[in-house]
Each structure stands twice: as structure tokens, then as C-alpha cells.
Amino acid sequence: MTERLRTRDRAASVVLAVGIAAALAACSGADDDPTDDPSPAADAVPAADAARQDLLAAVQDVFGPDGWTEDDAPTATPQPDGRCVVALPDVRTTRDGTTSYDQLEEVPAALAPVLAEHGFGEPSDVVHPEHGGSAYVEAEDPTGWSVTVTADGDVVRLDVSGPVALDPCDDSGLSALG
């Protein structure tokens, strides 16, 4: 009887382990990886900047239009895996810390139609930090461009970045785009 119980318990453990492994594989497969090759920077950067402007308008609908500042220029950075990633200028504002976290809950609904219009996937729900810090909403397009809206204390920030085909992969390569 005891041997039969051990055998049944081992079989149940194997079935459970296989089920968990299959579920993890389904959740972490190719959907997390960009499915398309990076576009030439001359096409991708203007398209991403147009999306950024529309996304900023949606974020400003939530947080208000006043007090937003923008970095000066996009940057291009080569990655260890050989990709070239362009970060468009961050746009940020300062708001009351508790209000910004509460208002971030409205961001997924505000971003969803704009993201769809520009070929991005659905925005995430708000990701809250486990031990304090930044909360954020994010989305990605098929080529790996990402949009992140972050509330970190009293700072709210919109970041847009993604892989491009650019040679050389540096700021001089971006400057050559015009």
C-alpha cells in the first residue's frame, strides 16, 4: 500500500511539473521577443516620434498639460547583442507624489487607442514596485519599440525607445538622418 502511494505521488509530481513547465513555456515564448526586424532608422525614428507626440497628448490628458520638459535629442546606443537602440527624448513633469501614483491607474485606458493606432500592443496594467519606488505602465510593438510611462515619487516620465538599423550606431549616425 505504501509503495502504491509513493508511486502515485511521484506520478502526480511528474504531471504537475510537466504542466507547470508547459504553462511557463507558453507564457514566455516568442511573444516576448520582437517578431519583426528593426526598421531603418530613417523610417523608424520619425514614426516613433510621431507616436511619442500622440502618446504624450494622451498622458497629458491624465496628468495635465503644464510643466512638461523634454530632453534635447534622441540617442543611439549599441547593445551587447549587436542591436542598435534609439532612445527618443524623455518627456517629464513634476506632480504631487501621491497624486501621480493614483493618476497612473488611468494611463492604460488613455494609451490603449493611441498605441493601437501606432501598431503597439495593449498597455500593461500598472506595475507597482514591491518595496517602494517607480510604478509604470508599458507597451511594445512587434519590432521591439517600447513605451513606458513611469511615476517615481513626484516625477512622471514618458520614455520611448527601440531597435533600429543604423550604421554607425551612435549620435553621429542619428545626425546623418537630418
Sequence-distant (≥ 6) Cβ neighbours of residue 19 within 8 angstroms: none
Of the candidates 133, 135, 159, the residue with the CA atom closest to the CA atom of residue 148: 159
**Residue (of 97, 157, 104, 92) closest to 128 by Cα position:** 104
Q: Mean of the per-residue pLDDT values for the chain?
A: 81
Q: What is the bridge-based pairing of β-strands 91-94 and 84-87?
A: unpaired
Q: What is the pLDDT of residues 56-98, one digit of tens each?
A: 999 999 999 999 999 888 999 999 999 999 999 999 999 876 6
Rounded to the nearest 5 degrees, what angle is found at the Cα of 98, between the Cα atoms of 92 and 100? 30
pLDDT at 27: 34
Give the H or E element holding residue 76. Answer: strand 75-78
Mean of the pLDDT values across residues 17-46?
Answer: 56
pLDDT of 2 above 60: no
3-state secondary structure of 136: strand
Instruction: Find, among 159, 144, 156, 161, the residue nearest to 61 by Cα.
Output: 156
* pTM listed for this prediction: 0.77
The answer on pLDDT for 19 being more than 70 is: no
Q: What is the pLDDT of residue 155?
A: 92
Cα separation, 123 vs 134, in Å, equals 17
Residue 32: pLDDT band (50, 70, 90) is very low
Check residue 124 and give its pLDDT: 96
R_g of the chain, CA atoms, integer Å: 21
- In the prediction, which pLDDT does 178 show? 65
